[in-house]
Amino acid sequence: MKSAAEAPGWDATLYLKYGDERTRPGRDLVAQVPLADPRLVYDLGCGPGNSTALLAERFPRAEIIGLDSSPDMLTQARRALPAARFEAADLATWRPQRRADLLFSNAVFQWVPNHRHVLAALMQALASGGCLAVQVPDNLAEPAQVLIRDIAEEGAWSKRLAGAEDARQTIAAPQAYYDLLRPFGARIDIWQTIYQHALADAPAIVEWMKATALRPYLALLDAAETQDFLAAYTERIAGAYPPCADGKVLLRFPRLFLVAIRA
C-alpha cells in the first residue's frame, strides 16, 4: 500500500479505524522471523507505524527504519513512535544502501508494480543469513473485491474507472514465489492464512475497503459519483455478507506469507 506509483491520498486515520485487525497479520509474521538479534531492520511500507512498533518490541537493540511513500502515513508514524526513524521512499525503486539483516513488509507489495522483480532484488540486498519477511493480501477473488470491479464496469463512470484495478497487483501462486527466491535462499517458508474479521455490519466492511481497495476508484470520481458508488457497493456488500446471530458480519480475508533466509 505504499508505492509512489499508486493512487494518491492515503488516510492514516481511516486506515487505523481497524488497526487491531490490520496489525494482526504483521504480528503473526514477526513471530516467524528466525533472527535473534538483527542490527539493521527496515519496515517496508510502514504505514502509520503499527508494524514498526511490532519490530521495535521484538528487536529492541536493532536500528529500525520505517519507509513509506505516503506523507500522511509518515506523519502518523512519527507521532506514534517519536524515537524511531522514518523516511519517504518508493518501494518500486528503493534499495538499501547497507546490507540489511531484516526486510519486513506487512501488506505492501500488492501495490508495488513488478513486485516479484522487486522481491528478488531485495533478497539480494540482504546480508548473509538475513531475512525477507513479507505478508500480502490474497483476496482479489473475495466478494468485497469482486463487487468493486463489478460496479466500476457499470454506469457512466465505466471508462474512467477502467484502469483503476491496475493499481492493485495480482498475487501469484506460492510456488512462483518459492521458485523466485530459492536461488538466493537457504530457507524459504511460505504459508497462507484466512482471517475471519468480525465487523459490526456491512457498512463497516465498506469503511474497511475505503481505506485500501476502494481508493484507486474513488480518487477518479466526483463527490456525487462517490456517493452513488458507495451506496451501490454497500447494498451489494449487505447481500454478500449476511449477518451472524449477533448481527455482526465476518469479513473473510486470505493472506499470503513468506519468510526467506539469505544463503
Q: pLDDT in tens for each of the 263 residues of the chain?
A: 333 333 446 666 766 676 788 899 999 999 999 999 999 999 999 999 999 999 999 999 999 999 999 999 999 999 999 989 999 999 999 999 999 999 999 999 999 999 999 999 999 999 999 999 999 999 999 999 999 999 999 989 999 999 898 888 999 999 999 999 999 988 999 999 999 999 999 999 999 999 899 999 999 999 999 999 999 999 999 999 999 999 999 999 999 999 999 99
What pLDDT, on the 0 to 100 scale, is given for residue 16?
62
Residue 41: partners with Cβ closer than 8 Å, 6 or more residues away = 55, 59, 62, 63, 64, 65, 100, 101, 102, 104
Of 69, 66, 73, 23, which Cα lies nearest the Cα of 48? 73
What pLDDT, on the 0 to 100 scale, is given for residue 22?
85
d(CA 180, CA 4): 24
What pLDDT, on the 0 to 100 scale, is given for residue 114?
94
d(CA 5, CA 247): 39
> What are the residue ranges of helices labelled H in the chain?
12-15, 19-30, 50-58, 71-80, 115-124, 143-152, 174-181, 202-210, 215-218, 223-240
Q: What is the DSSP string of 96-139?
A: -SS-EEEEEEES-GGGSTTHHHHHHHHHHTEEEEEEEEEEEE--
d(CA 64, CA 52): 8
Residue 165: partners with Cβ closer than 8 Å, 6 or more residues away = 149, 152, 216
**Main-chain phi, psi angles of 179, to 5 degrees:** -65, -35
Q: Which fold has domain 12-262?
A: Rossmann fold (3.40.50)
Q: Is residue 182 a contact partner of residue 188, using CB atoms and an 8 Å limit? A: yes
CA distances to 14, 45, 81, 205 from 211, rounded to whole Å, are 6, 15, 22, 10
Distance, CA of 167 to chain centre: 13
Partnered with residue 182 across adjacent β-strands are none
What pLDDT, on the 0 to 100 scale, is given for residue 97?
92
Angle between helices 223-240 and 143-152 (to 10 degrees): 140
